[in-house]
Structure 1
Amino acid sequence: MQRPCDSERVRLGLCLAVAFGLTGAHITGQPEGRRTVVGIRGSAFLINGEPTYTAASGFPDADPNIAGTLLNVRAVQAIFDDANYPNGGTKSKPYQSNTMGDVFFDYPDGTWDPDRNVQEFVDALSDWRRAGLLAFTVNLQGGGPVDGNYGEDVPMQPHYNSGFDPQGALKPAYAKRLQKVLEAADRLGMVVIVGFFYQGSDERIEIVDNDQHLRTAVVNGIRFLESLPHRNVLIEINNETSVGGYSHPLLQPDGIYELVSLAKQEAGNDFPVSMSWSGGIMPRGSKGDLALRMVDYVMIHTNGRTPEEVHETIQAQRRWTGHDRPLMINEDGVSAFNLHAAASERVGWGYYDQGWNNYRDGFQSPPANWRISTAVKWLFFEQVARLTGSPVPPRPSVDDPEYPVITIKGLKAGQTLTKPAWIEAIIEDRHARWPIHRVEFFIDGKPYSYKRTAPFMLGGREWWNPSEIEMGPHTLRVVAYDLRGPRFTQTCTIEEIPFTVGPQE
């Protein structure tokens, strides 16, 4: 398929704008309409020509390790809808999950509304940006809207969330919501990673010879993006190519290189192209290896890994795909320790907070509360603020009788430590089904040690020596994470104790 010439692309963009009802001031195609332009130079991401998180790009106090990276949030449900609704996904007609019970998308105060969802999302973005966040991922087929993807061993998710019709045409309602997101991010100086396909929903596009409808969807998606003035976009063809959850041949490791080639041809110099990868090194010379060498930036997922394994995964990926392009994690979990592991490797990191459908916890289970509404969310944005030299957001107050309770043994508020101390966090798990996942210790807001099994000792040992840190006042923070699903959903409780390190005996 030949790429249209510039005049043909302009005509096509205007036609698409008319077709989607997007004509007017926002669809002029004029350079002055662009506020945020994402680019790549070597292994660094740029915004408006400057490496991210540097003094030149407005972050004079940022950690030097994050220069040229994109700290990001997985917000794939920002343009979510369910074509089955209200015949499915309501309180009265919920979907069923083997692990999480009834699944429905109604708000506590009303019915599901995709326009409300996207409006609340763009309203929350200014808080994210104020804390130093520069990027987030949306997806035209969303993501799993419940922990464990309903726990069903079936190829297709029961809800119907797809921005493409069965023949690959882009649906106007999704296009309008996506445009709204791009406009808001553009104004704020933020980058949007636009995903096209998600496993379990790719089957909503009909599988035909040569996967032609899928190819059509890629072309239509990119041409729509080109019809807008916004150039704050990175393209993610599909989520986790390597997981084996796709029915379309071209979304699998042996076929994705064809879509990468097509997308790069269509996008030209307008949008960097990639897809995300989750585990496994492909043999050199294989089609999957070819695809990873064709992308403009390398994007991986590190779900379920320890901080040490994040380091190892990044290093292994660089041995495979080199150091000449940006490497980004756009999905991991909620642990700040993993965030810092990636940052120390000069890699952007993606916060993935599954939550559940209660309009409070998480960002991926509609209806999502896009505000910094829980301790888990706050801890991530607080750490982003510290890394980027930005204002720390206010900490929300959330009281839940099922959150874990932390009792700290061996340290009292205001105590002065002059010799080694036995400091242990004793965790009361108040949820009958899901266990405590891990306990993290911070000193003065910085990650210090963590443990996944009791006893939860500061520094991972029985007698902690306070001479390991400077004399003077400090604050110990203990964070206890509790699983709330089989895979990803977590809550947490935070306790802080001020103390002083005095002269050692």
Structure 2
Amino acid sequence: MKKTVMSIQGDRFLLNGKLTYSENADCPHQGLLMNARFIQGIFDDAADRERYNRFGKHFDPEENTDELIAALPDWYAAGLRAFTVGLQGGGPCFTIALDTIQNNPYGSDGKALDPAYLNRLARLIDAADELGMVVIVSLFYGVQTALLQDDDAVENAVKGICGWLRARGDRNIIIEIANEHDTGAYLCHKVLSEENGIIRLMELARRESGGMPVGCSGTGGYFSARIAQASDVILIHGNEQTRNQLYNLILKAKAVEPARPIVVNEDSQALSQLQVTFANGVSWGYYNNMTKQEPPVDWGITQGEDRFYALRLREYLYGEKPDLPLEDQFHLQGLEKDMAYEDKRFLRLASLYPEQVDHVDFFRDGALYQQAYDDPFCVNFIGNWIQEPVVGIKSGEQWRAVVHLCDGRVVEKTVIVP
């Protein structure tokens, strides 16, 4: 017997007939579905599994799923009510070339569903059902679709996985046809790269799943009115978007009638985006490339960005303002033991309230190395979800982040590389 039944009422979500977060009668954000991108929850790589034995850990696909399941209660307690997991996973964008990965449970003709993937996905869905969480099941991911031989194979895969979900009787599922279908990686399949094809696949998924809600995302800032109109849940991404650009994207989604839920199911670790989405009644998806997308993943609420996201959720949803001294509201990360890969490290200054930061100065062994002005405050910033590495960092080096707040206060965080 399934324990969690998700339903939609206008632009709001209900779980078991009650608006989400209604356990807090004073919550002004009832009906939202705060989420995170846990896209690698059932990940494997037939090309070379051994290369993921890194970061001081051993990678095993079954253990990876089990560790995510073990972490879900803490995320639920923080206020998370949904997460996105991908049948074809996502990209360890910082470290491993995407076109070298083989993470495809469908077979080349789309008919051969891999039982190991299905078992891992079933365990995840069951764990979410037990807790009262929704799983956004993403069917296709960019470069992995090249492993499907043609458009017929894509349609076979949709029929197969959606039929499997229907047979299970799950009631806590949102189906995402493709992650960012407008990227060039999908051009090998007309049905995945064009609006008409996506709309046809959404109709197919809805029918084969027995009516589960369906949507499809595009890259940060992308919006298709036709795909949104055909969606049960409008899925948008906030990558590369300033707060104003994200607001403009939300306005486009809100113009779709009749109203339906709008879910950002991928953005970044830029917590200032929460101001925009909460103010406009939109659900936000935390996306941390480093801590939550580089296998083997640490699925727990790690120090720094993960923890600050969890604290901000409790503040917005339950009115629990974090009781942290100012110096503890910042965390210099990326210098932890075993976090180097091929002599590369990815440094960020995590902030509980990035809206209050003017800029950050990074010092390497006492010399100014770089400055950061946008949230998240990364060394070698490219966009709010991605950065270039720092190479050649040695044990014993001192890194210092000097945080200049908008009110004139200054906070310093110093790390000696282990």
TM-score scaled by length of structure 1: 0.66
The C-alpha deviation readout for 1:342-374, integer Å capped at 9, x for no partner, is: 11110000000000xxxxxx1001010001112
Question: 1:339 is matched by which residue type in structure 2?
Answer: L
The equivalent position to 1:482 in structure 2, one of 372, 378, 390, is 378
Q: 1:83 to 1:148 in 2, by over 3 A?
A: closer
Deviations 1:7-49 (A, max 9, x none): xxxxxxxxxxxxxxxxxxxxxxxxxx11111111111111112
Tell me the distance in 2 between the aligned counterparts of 1:333 and 1:166: 32
Question: What secondary structure, in the 3-state scheme, does the structure 2 residue paired with 1:242 have?
Answer: coil
Amino acid of the residue matched to residue 202 of structure 1? T
> Which residue of 1 is the match for residue 299 of structure 2?
370
Q: Structure 2 CA distance, aligned partners of 1:49 and 1:381?
A: 25
Matched, 1:59 2:24: yes
Separation in structure 2 between the aligned mates of residue 433 and residue 216 of structure 1, nearest angstrom: 41
Contact 1:374 1:396 in 2 (8 A): no
The separation in 1 between residues aligned to 2:299 and 2:317, in whole angstroms, is 21
**Which residue of structure 2 aligns with residue 473 of structure 1?**
none
**Aligned AA for 2:141?**
Y
The answer for the alignment partner of 1:216 in structure 2 is 156
User: 2:135, 2:173 within 8 Å by CA — same for their partners in 1?
Assistant: yes
Task: Measure, in 1, the Cα distance between the counterparts of 2:69 and 2:182.
Answer: 31
| Preserved CA contact (<8 Å) 1:165 1:204 | yes
Whether contact under 8 Å (1:131, 1:384) holds in the other structure is: yes
Q: Which has the larger radius of gyration?
A: 1
382, 389, 412: which one aligns with 2:318: 389
Match of 2:356, SS state, is strand
Separation of aligned partners in 1, 2:294 and 2:193? 26
Q: Describe how 1:191-206 pairs up with structure 2 within 5 A.
A: 191-206=134-149
Secondary structure, aligned partner of 2:272 = helix
**Range with greater deviation from structure 2 (107-116 or 254-263):** 107-116
CA gap 1:149/1:237 in 2 versus in 1, 3 angstroms:
farther
- Cα RMSD after superposing both structures: 3.5
TM-score (ref. length: structure 2)? 0.79
d(CA) in 1 for partners of 2:279 and 2:332? 34
**Shift in alpha-carbon separation, 1:493–1:82, aligned structure 2, 3 A:** farther
- Give the structure 2 partner of residue 180 of structure 1: 123
The alignment of Structure 1 onto Structure 2 pairs a total of residues equal to 370
Amino acid at match of 2:131: L
State yes or no: 1:250 paired with 2:160. no
**Structure 1: which 5+ residue stretches go unaligned?**
1-32, 91-103, 151-155, 283-287, 356-361, 404-431, 456-478, 500-505
Structure 2's unaligned 5+ residue stretches are: 337-342, 363-374, 390-399, 408-418
Kindly report which structure 2 residues correspond to 1:204-353, keeping only aligned pairs within 5 A, or say none: 204-207=147-150, 211-246=151-186, 247-254=188-195, 255-269=197-211, 271-279=212-220, 289-319=225-255, 321-322=256-257, 324-353=259-288
Determine helix, strand or coil for the equivalent of 1:46: strand
Aligned CA distance change for structure 1 residues 331 and 148 (closer, same or farther; 3 Å): farther
CA distance in 2, matches of 1:383, 1:493: 22
- Equivalent residue letter for 1:481: F
Distance 2:323 2:214 in 1: 33
Shift of 1:434: 8.8
**How far is 1:322 from its partner?**
3.7
Judge conservation of contact 2:238–2:267 (CA < 8 Å) in 1.
Answer: yes
- Within 5 A, what are the aligned runs for 1:152-191? 157-168=99-110, 169-191=112-134
Matched-pair identity in %: 31
Q: Which amino acid aligns with 1:298?
A: I
Q: Which AA in structure 2 matches 1:293? A: Q
The answer on 1:78 being equivalent to 2:65 is no
**Which shows bigger deviation, 168-177 or 389-398?**
389-398
> Which amino acid in structure 1 is aligned with residue 216 of structure 2?
M
- Aligned to 1:277, the other structure's residue is in SS state coil
Structure 1: distance between partners of 2:202 and 2:334 = 48
| Counterpart pick for 1:138 among 66, 85, 107 | 85
| 1:127 Cα deviation from its structure 2 partner | 0.4
Change (3 A) 1:262 1:115: same
Is contact 2:202–2:215 with CA below 8 Å preserved after alignment? yes
Q: Are 1:43 and 1:326, in contact at CA under 8 Å, matched by a contact in 2?
A: yes
- How big is the shift at 1:52? 1.3
How far residue 230 of structure 1 moved from its aligned partner, in angstroms, is: 2.5
Q: In 2 relative to 1, CA 367–290 (structure 1 residues): closer, same or farther, beyond 3 Å?
A: same
Alignment deviations for residues 457-502 of structure 1 (CA, whole Å, 9 cap, x no partner) = xxxxxxxxxxxxxxxxxxxxxx9722467553479979899x9xxx
Q: Which digits, 9 at most, give the CA deviation of each residue in 1:443-466, with x for residues without a partner?
A: xxxx653446879xxxxxxxxxxx
Tell me the amino acid that sits aligned with residue 81 of structure 2. Answer: L
Residue type of the partner of 1:162?
N
In structure 1, what is the Cα distance between the partners aligned to 2:330 and 2:158?
A: 43
8 Å CA contact 1:437, 1:481 repeated in 2: yes
Aligned-residue offset at 1:53: 1.9
How much does 1:266 deviate? 1.5
Secondary structure in structure 2 of the residue aligned to 1:201: helix
Q: Report if aligned partners of 2:237, 2:264 keep a CA contact under 8 Å in 1.
A: yes
Q: Distance in 1 between matches of 2:45 and 2:323?
A: 33
* 1:27 alignment partner in structure 2: none
Secondary structure at 1:138 match in 2: strand
Q: Are the structure 2 counterparts of residues 437 and 84 from structure 1 closer, same or farther at C-alpha, using a change threshold of 3 Å?
A: closer
Match of 1:68 in 2: 31
- AA partner of residue 101 (structure 2): H
> SS in structure 1 opposite 2:99?
coil
Supply the distance in 2 between the matched residues of 1:166 and 1:380 (Cα, whole angstroms).
Answer: 39
Q: Residues 484, 35 of structure 1: CA spacing in aligned structure 2 closer, same or farther, 3 A cutoff?
A: farther
Residues 174 and 397 of structure 1, relative CA distance in 2, 3 Å threshold:
farther
| Matching of residue 119 in structure 1 with residue 66 in structure 2 | yes
**Paired residue for 1:36?**
4
